[in-house]
Chains A and B, each alone.
Chain A
């Protein structure tokens, strides 16, 4: 049913401080933007998770509705949705990412 997917997403979002829903996996990203998003977080040295939704169309659709955001990747930090690097890059330029991650990881 639809909500069990939503529950699953909620669990995943809460389980990982940095979560990237994208195309492919951490070891085999299948889209430039997913790889770009991984490289974005590699610079900060905090752990992140990549969940492939190319292989899970129902979850991909539910995520699109939940976030009102039509594209992949979709990034969640500390349970909050932040879109993709189009949003994260300007935030990084203003120095907003570092404190956000420090707060999320408590150090």
Chain B
């Protein structure tokens, strides 16, 4: 289980300009839909954008606070 603020904190550590929205898919706050808008994605293909998010959330994923993620990664002008 992870709160939106804690998750957002992890994302902001590596993408300070990120706007993060979190949707709890199953009510247990560990199967989450996470949308990140940041210009860190500029010039990156989808795979690399998602890798950036996975790297930012590496700790809560490894310790099990996050079980499953559905990701959306857009730049500011794409959002």
Contact = CB atoms under 8 A, between A and B. Distances in A.
Given A33-B68, A86-B70, A86-B71, A68 B50 contact: no
Contacts of B54: 69-71
Interface residues of B, number: 12
A65 B11 CA distance: 22
B31 to A, nearest CB: 9
Nearest to A72: B68
Contact of B69 (A71, A81, A90, A91): A71
Interface in B28-60: 46-47, 50-51, 54, 58
A82 B58 contact: no
A1 interface: no
B26 to A, nearest CB: 10
B50 A87 contact: yes
Contacts, number: 29
A90 B51 contact: no
Nearest to A70: B54
Interface of A: 32-33, 68-71, 81-83, 86-87, 90-91
Given A69-B54, A70-B58, A70-B61, A87 B68 contact: no
A66 B50 CA distance: 16
Contacts of A82: 47
Contacts of B61: 70-71
Contacts of A70: 54, 58, 61
Contacts of A33: 68
